[in-house]
């Protein structure tokens, strides 16, 4: 727990140092008697928020982007060869048969136990 708090304090200190460095750079680049610096600073977050709000693309553009992303990802897929596909298919079918038989045996056993306890024969 102490390590987590130490990391938080360290991150906070790093952010504060970065802010101080940026403010020092802005102060050194702006003239000393510049009274317009404060209003520009206040207007900047509003302009950024407005620009971010307008960044969201329309419905059809998002769908087009999604299909483009799917196409890109499909190019990255490592497709199996025919031999690999055959061996994987045989393995899957074999496992289906094995587990099907196991489930059938367990089901038959449970039915036999229940029939024995209840005296019902089905």
Q: Do 84 and 68 reside in the same domain of the chain?
A: no
Rounded-to-integer distance, Cα 7 and Cα 3, Å: 6
pLDDT 10s digits, 89-100: 999 999 999 999
pLDDT digits (tens, 9 = 90+) for 60-117: 999 999 999 999 999 999 999 999 999 999 999 999 999 999 999 999 999 999 998 8
Range of the domain at 59: 40-77
Are residues 93 and 119 both part of a single domain? Answer: yes
Same domain, 86 and 104: yes
Place of tokens 């799917």: 70
Q: Is residue 52 part of a domain?
A: yes
Rounded Cα gap, residues 26 and 103, in angstroms: 73
Please, what is the average pLDDT of the chain? 83
Pair 89, 71 in one domain:
no
Domain shared by 93 and 115, yes or no: yes
How confident is the model at residue 88, as a pLDDT?
Answer: 97
User: Does the predicted TM-score (pTM) go above 0.85?
Assistant: no
Hey, how many other C-beta atoms are within 10 angstroms of the C-beta on 5? 9
Give the chain's domain count: 2
Same domain, 46 and 84: no
89 plus 119 within the same structural domain? yes
67 within some domain:
yes
SS3 36: coil
**Alpha carbon distance 67, 70 (integer Å):** 5
């Amino acid at each position: 727990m102490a390590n987590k708090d130490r990391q938080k304090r360290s991150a906070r200190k790093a952010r504060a140092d970065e802010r101080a460095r940026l403010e020092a750079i802005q102060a050194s680049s702006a003239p000393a008697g510049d009274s317009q610096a404060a209003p520009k600073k206040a207007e900047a977050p509003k302009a950024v928020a407005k620009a971010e709000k307008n960044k969201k693309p329309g419905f059809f553009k998002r769908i087009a982007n999604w299909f483009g992303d799917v196409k890109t990802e499909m190019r990255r897929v490592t497709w199996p060869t025919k031999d690999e596909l055959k061996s994987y298919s045989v393995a899957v079918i074999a496992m289906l048969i094995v587990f099907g038989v196991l489930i059938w045996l367990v089901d038959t056993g449970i039915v036999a136990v229940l029939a024995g306890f209840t005296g019902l024969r089905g």
